[in-house]
A and B are shown apart, each in its own frame.
Chain A
Amino acid sequence: MDPWVYKILSGLIDGLTIGSVYALIALGLALVFGVTRTFNFAHGSFFTWGAYFAWTIQKAFGKEISHLVIFAIVIPALYSLGWVFEKIVVRPLRKSTNWLIIVMLTTLASALILDTTALVVFGPLTKSIPPLFEGRVMIGQIAISINDLSIFIIAILIISLLTLFLNKTRQGTAMRAVAQDLDGANIVGIYSDKIFGYSLGISAVLAGIAGILLAPKYFISPMGGWTPYIKSFIIVFLGGLGSFKGAVCAAFILGIIEAMVVLYISTVWVMPVWFVVLLIILIFRPKGLFGIWE
């Protein structure tokens, strides 16, 4: 095999791995945007806190603890975090006019609170948790680390579970109903406050799991959630606001772009390239790739 084919293929694999994690974060953001029509600026803090939760558990129980146990503890914790967050920061404001914009301000302030709390509790030094699996498999000449493979599989699994939840269960259907028409959903007896709580809880879980999956690669720091957050909203934009399919597609497209930029130019240029891609898409397709709302 030619060396350049090898390079491109390994870049593609990197891109798919990172894209699957970005899809998780972006889906959480898209879910909250779909249901509440507002952007949660503390989404990146959920990402950070997920990783810190995992680190704390690992610290408390020792390095040998299975990742399954970590997930079993972290997922309810994250869900409660998101739910309480909705109760404190979003719900009191829903009666005021212009609340979509006000909520963005309060979530931004809460992001500051959550990040600073992480800084005070865990200190400014970066933390790390060991990867899920060690070792690598060879497919032909291409070495794939089992950790990357497992990240990809877990992310795809969670995305499928979320799709199933939204399409097949009662609560998921209610969530989609609120996303389509808040007033209509209220009329048919869906308690929208509850749905708001669910959606923020689920989005916190998605962001937190992404944080745990990426922690062995990129370390954990108090402000580390901002880059994934900004990336996830570029993804949501590119995919089209409110479109889950679009968010997943855009995550993989941008993930592969990121891997290629890292391979051929340098890490520094990832965000500028993403930003340029976003601006170009916004000029030609203001609704994004799969945008369904105005």
Chain B
Amino acid sequence: MGINPNYKMSGSKNRNFCIAAVLFLLFIPAITLNNNYLMHFLVLCFIWGVTAEAWNLIMGYAGIFSFGQIAFFTIGAFAAGLLSLQLGVSPWLGMPLAGLITACVGFLIGLPSLRLKGEYIALVTYALHMLLGALVFRGKAIGIETGGFLWNIPSLTFFGYEFPRNAVISWYYLGLVLFLLFLLFIYWIIHSPIGRAFVALRDAEPLAQSLGIDQFKYKLIVFSLSAFITGVMGAFYAYYVAVISSRMLGLDFFVKALIMVLLGGIGRFPGAAIGAFIITIGYEAMRPLMSYRLIVLGIFVILTIIYLPGGIMGGTDYLEKIRKWRQKNKELLSQ
């Protein structure tokens, strides 16, 4: 795992595939004849796709082994909900504000913890996750209902047109826009000087540091940016579902997001988003299994880690390896 050793800066080969995928997603409502049930899951796919990809950005590229992703998502959702319910902030303003609040929390958590070694960051961020559960569950002082609920979060309005909750299509397109925007943003970060700094740090840490690349600074920047993206998606989720609860901090959500990243392949750019689509829809398809599906999910995580360490995107590496191995055999045979 870790960053793909065959990491290349350009991905022009994949461009056609991306355009095709975007066009396909654009016409989904037409293809499915405005099927609300299906589109609802695609909106969730968009939300989780960005969240998983933001996690992948810090875990796979920046090498920050953070377990705080769901905590940031929840902070974004509750910040947006509280802003709109308590202060009457418009949802359009609420989303970036929630993102900023989440980024601030990420910055404050990152300040002491990002200097630590990998495993310890996981623990500090997971402590944030657990702490948040306790705070949300008993957050009566800041207007959270008993049991960690927020009800009746206002819907988005667009020039007097209120996004209806029973028709998903407007949410679908907003979600798609956010999904593409943030994926491009993450792609841009990976290929920006910050992303290159991480590649340098990974390939030759002493040299990179001697050239003046400040690991801590770049980690802090990426950690805060990832928190911002996650916070905005959390806010979008809150406005979309209207009712949020502390159940978001449950272990099932956490492991679901984790398997999205693992299945897609840690440190392989669009992998986590693809993983999000597979897991969100697959998990819904497993509904008849009831509580057992969490066990299935857990087993799936372990099997993926043991037998598919590079995820789906890593599968190409295997093909490459097999091709090379065959070639080697051929050469040996011909000698």
B252 at the interface (CB under 8 A from A): yes
Partner of A230, one of B1, B116, B118, B130: B130
Partner of A39, one of B123, B251, B297: B123
CB distance from B212 to the nearest CB of A (A): 24
Q: What chain B residues lie within 8 Å of A279 (beta carbons)?
A: 112
Asked if residues B255 and A102 are in contact (CB atoms below 8 Å), the reply is: no
Binds A, one of B9-17, B45-53, B96-104, B301-309: B301-309
Binds A, one of B199-207, B227-235, B277-285, B288-296: B288-296
Task: Using known A-B contacts A89-B302, A98-B2, A112-B298, determine if residue A282 contacts B116 with beta carbons closer than 8 Å.
Answer: yes
Report A221-246 residues with CB < 8 Å from chain B CB: 223, 226-227, 230, 233-234, 237, 241
Asked if residues A112 and B112 are in contact (CB atoms below 8 Å), the reply is: no
Asked if residues B301 and A106 are in contact (CB atoms below 8 Å), the reply is: yes
B299 at the interface (CB under 8 A from A): yes
Q: What chain B residues lie within 8 Å of A96 (beta carbons)?
A: 1, 309
Task: Using known A-B contacts A120-B291, A272-B134, determine if residue A115 contacts B251 with beta carbons closer than 8 Å.
Answer: yes
Q: What chain A residues lie within 8 Å of B25 (beta carbons)?
A: none
Complex Cα–Cα for A93 and B308 (A): 12
Q: What chain B residues lie within 8 Å of A230 (beta carbons)?
A: 126-127, 130
Interface contacts beyond A108-B254, A237-B123, A268-B134: sample of 16 additional A-B pairs, CB < 8 Å, sorted by A:
A101-B122, A102-B1, A102-B309, A105-B258, A109-B298, A109-B305, A111-B251, A112-B251, A112-B295, A112-B297, A112-B298, A113-B295, A113-B299, A115-B251, A120-B291, A234-B127
Complex Cα–Cα for A61 and B305 (A): 41
Q: What chain B residues lie within 8 Å of A223 (beta carbons)?
A: 251
Q: How many chain B residues touch A (Cβ–Cβ < 8 Å)?
A: 41
**Interface 1/0 per residue, A249-287 and B, CB below 8 Å:** 000000000000000000010011001001100110010
Q: What chain B residues lie within 8 Å of A169 (beta carbons)?
A: none
Q: What chain B residues lie within 8 Å of A89 (beta carbons)?
A: 302
A residues adjacent to B (C-beta < 8 A): 37-39, 89, 92-93, 96-98, 100-102, 104-106, 108-113, 115-117, 119-120, 223, 226-227, 230, 233-234, 237, 241, 268, 271-272, 275, 278-279, 282-283, 286, 294
Partner of A113, one of B113, B127, B258, B298: B298
Asked if residues A271 and B131 are in contact (CB atoms below 8 Å), the reply is: yes
Partner of A104, one of B119, B252, B298: B119
B156 at the interface (CB under 8 A from A): no
Partner of A286, one of B116, B128, B294: B116
A-B contact number at CB 8 A: 110
Interface of B (DSSP majority class):
helix
Q: What chain B residues lie within 8 Å of A119 (beta carbons)?
A: 291
B186 at the interface (CB under 8 A from A): no
Partner of B122, one of A104, A109, A120: A104
Q: What chain A residues lie within 8 Å of B122 (beta carbons)?
A: 39, 101, 104
Complex Cα–Cα for A117 and B254 (A): 17
Complex Cα–Cα for A59 and B115 (A): 50
Complex Cα–Cα for A5 and B173 (A): 65
Partner of A100, one of B119, B262, B292, B297: B119
Partner of B294, one of A101, A108, A116, A268: A116
Q: What chain B residues lie within 8 Å of A93 (beta carbons)?
A: 305-306
**Interface 1/0 per residue, B209-233 and A, CB below 8 Å:** 0000000000000000000000000
CB distance from B256 to the nearest CB of A (A): 10
Q: What chain A residues lie within 8 Å of B262 (beta carbons)?
A: 105
